[in-house]
Chains A and B, each alone.
Chain A
Amino acid sequence: MTTDAAARARMRPDLIVVGASAGGLKALEMVLGALPRGFPVPIVAVQHRARESGDTFVEVLGRGSPLPVHEVEDDDQLRAPGVYLAPPDYHVLIEPGRVSLSVDDPVSYSRPSIDVLFESAADAYGERVCAVLLTGANADGAKGLVRIKQAGGYAIVQDPHTAESPEMPAAGIASAAVDVVLPLEQIASELVRRAAT
């Protein structure tokens, strides 16, 4: 490993972005539930879900995690500990230190779109962002991961063999030079390790 790469591997992220689709509720519950109270990096997550899914989704995740879980409001400031979940039917974009929303057309049939979240996070945070791509039955997030890597960020993808729907993580691995592929149950500990460096 060159010094540069070593330094990058050590860099503590200031933001974690997560994308999930089919099977994502269970996967997110597992990852968010295994993070420690007071986890020091804000997490912004896109989970594809129906417009009608309402508040129950946020409540379920909030109950299962020691971290406060919010549904994103326009202009929310990103604070840790905290999980910010994309509202149905809005794209979530990252600005330095905060989020903004858009109702632009769906990207690859999705709104919220994981690509939109990841690409804007890469633009705003560069090498100080860590992206996590979980289970899903489409290819959302693959383009976003490419941008994350171009900007020097860190990319974690769920091992497709441990995913309820393997297509999305497989597409991510095929498209981008991801840093690490992990079974679902090891993703939280990897995040803790990175947040501690």
Chain B
Amino acid sequence: MTTKRSGSYARVVDPRGVGAAAASALTRADAEYAGVSSLERLEIQLLLEGVFRHYGHDFRSYAFSSLRRRLRKRLEAEGLDTFSALQSLLLHDPEAMDRLLRDMSVNVTGMFRDPTFFHALRQKVVPILRTYPFVRIWHAGCATGEEVYALAIMLEEEGLYERSRIYATDMNSDALEKAKTGIFPLARMREYTSNYLQGGGTRSFSEYYSANYDAALFDPKLRRNVLFAQHNLATDTSFSEFNLILCRNVLIYFDRQLKERVYKLFADSLASFGILCLGRRESLRFTAVETEYEEFDARERIYRRRR
């Protein structure tokens, strides 16, 4: 078992963009541990290949462990025993494919998640943005949009929103439709209010929404300068130049090769001295673009292009 597998799985997880040493370590690890569920792994690869070739949805470069978890959930929900059976269902039943798509593209989000990050954004990044006559922002992987509204609120309070444009993108059109409504569960407002205040909010958070049964409807004026659009980080290219890009806890679902692709895409999409914000446990270290940035706030994972 330790010698045989040269491994097509290795190609799935094996990043082209990293050093050869790391790559060979991965291949070796893969070969050593492939014994238990190698058949299941093969079935998953075939399923992903089939989905890609038949529907064009490409999940082949997703982080394998999270991907397998989500696929297993779909497998159980469909009452099937093997990924081969699931593959057959997906290929012959577009509605089953839609259900899988929803599973695959749901990213959990919230308002002012990580208040210290929003505090740093307000205290350190806003003063830089203020020096520009016009501020262009890309919120990549915005899911159902909570963080987009949070950003709009912050810009509004800093007197910067009138000259800002937020391009909020996600691969999931259902999520974008939800984001456009600005309706979020009322039950979460207590948590969001607390986050908002810790993150440096200057007003009363309840000014921004009206409660209706169990829903909080956010002021439609908050999205007057937001453009929601479908964009797939895995396959689409750069579409403009930005002063600020936020992409938090999205790339953790991608394998290293795809992460490298997206980091390159961001570097190509940032104006000189543009700012990139990642999630609390993500970083650019060991990536090909690392040297193009300085750590602007290392703790909050805010980077700034060197030129």
B-contacting residues of A (Cβ < 8 Å)?
14, 71-75, 77, 87, 90, 93-98, 100-105, 116, 119-120, 122-128, 151-152
Does B65 count as interface, using CB distance less than 8 angstroms? yes
Does B69 count as interface, using CB distance less than 8 angstroms? yes
A124: chain B residues within 8 A (beta carbon): 33, 65
Assess A97 versus B68: contact at CB under 8 Å? Given A90-B281, A127-B36: no
Q: State which of A73, A75, A77, A93 has its C-beta within 8 Å of the C-beta of B66.
A: A93
Assess A152 versus B13: contact at CB under 8 Å? Given A73-B283, A95-B63, A100-B63: no
The count of A-to-B residue pairs whose CB atoms sit within 8 angstroms is 86
Q: State which of B29, B65, B253, B259 has its C-beta within 8 Å of the C-beta of A123.
A: B65
Convert B66-85 into 0s and 1s, putting 1 for each residue whose CB lies closer than 8 angstroms to a CB of A.
10111000000000000000
Q: State which of A101, A119, A120 has its C-beta within 8 Å of the C-beta of B252.
A: A101
| A42 nearest CB across to chain B (Å) | 12
| A100→B35 contact, CB < 8 A | no
| B108→A105 contact, CB < 8 A | yes
Known: A116-B69, A124-B33. 13 other contacts (CB 8 A): A71-B281, A74-B251, A74-B252, A74-B279, A77-B25, A87-B280, A97-B29, A98-B26, A100-B66, A101-B252, A102-B69, A102-B253, A123-B65
Does B193 count as interface, using CB distance less than 8 angstroms? no
B35: chain A residues within 8 A (beta carbon): 126-127
Convert B38-61 into 0s and 1s, putting 1 for each residue whose CB lies closer than 8 angstroms to a CB of A.
000000000000000000000000
| A149 nearest CB across to chain B (Å) | 12
Does B64 count as interface, using CB distance less than 8 angstroms? yes
Q: Which of A93, A96, A125 has the most CB of B within 10 A?
A: A96
The CA of A103 and the CA of B36, in the complex, are separated in Å by 26
| B136 nearest CB across to chain A (Å) | 27
The CA of A180 and the CA of B31, in the complex, are separated in Å by 29
A98: chain B residues within 8 A (beta carbon): 26
- Chain B interface, DSSP helix/strand/loop, else mixed: helix
Q: State which of B13, B30, B64, B108 has its C-beta within 8 Å of the C-beta of A104.
A: B108
| A123→B68 contact, CB < 8 A | yes
The CA of A127 and the CA of B286, in the complex, are separated in Å by 31
B68: chain A residues within 8 A (beta carbon): 120, 123
| B65→A100 contact, CB < 8 A | yes
| A104→B66 contact, CB < 8 A | yes
| A100→B252 contact, CB < 8 A | yes
Does B173 count as interface, using CB distance less than 8 angstroms? no
Residue in B closest to A72 when the chains form the complex, CB atoms: B281
| A47 nearest CB across to chain B (Å) | 15
| B33→A126 contact, CB < 8 A | yes
| A95→B65 contact, CB < 8 A | yes
